Amino acid sequence: MSKPARPVRDDYKVFYPIDTRWSDNDIYGHVNNVTYYAYFDSAANRYLIEEGGLDIQSGDTVGYVVSSGCEYHAPVAYPDALEAGLRVERLGNSSVRYGLAIFRQGESQAVAHGYFVHVFVTRPTDQSAAIPPGLRTALEQILV
């Protein structure tokens, strides 16, 4: 099986710093694989809140993660300074597929990359809903 290509910074539109924590490391001395999903989730939701106006406390529309995946290229460990790169790969009526990558601060190649899919639903009914205009505008700005 061949290794997937390592994405580079130019492949992503928005970046957020990540402070690794001691508890991110596993018994093998590097950031545990499940922690990358928390990094992904934090980066995408930060963008939605700051740029799209997502109200996570009382908004009528929320995004549920329905699919995700990650490819790992190089280990990182506490206290590495990291950055999450974010882009939108597909934008539908009620769903979005994000592309994400984790970089060591200042490095051009990703240490890991992946995706996840949000489906937007109305909070009271849990039924699929169109992406609200403010969120859609923000997501279109980072669509590749």
Count how many domains the chain has.
Answer: 1
Q: What is the pLDDT of residues 82-118, one digit of tens each?
A: 999 999 999 999 999 999 999 999 999 999 999 999 9
Q: Is residue 26 part of a domain?
A: yes
Of 80, 119, 118, 121, the closest CA to residue 99 belongs to: 118
pTM: 0.94
CATH of the domain at 107: 3.10.129.10
Q: Is residue 4 part of a domain?
A: no
| pLDDT at residue 1 greater than cutoff 70 | no
Helix (H, G, I), strand (E, B) or coil at 46: helix
Place of tokens 């999903």: 37
**pLDDT score for 4:** 66
Q: Is residue 119 part of a domain?
A: yes
| pLDDT at residue 18 greater than cutoff 90 | yes
Calpha distance 82→113 (Å, rounded): 13
Mean pLDDT of the chain: 96
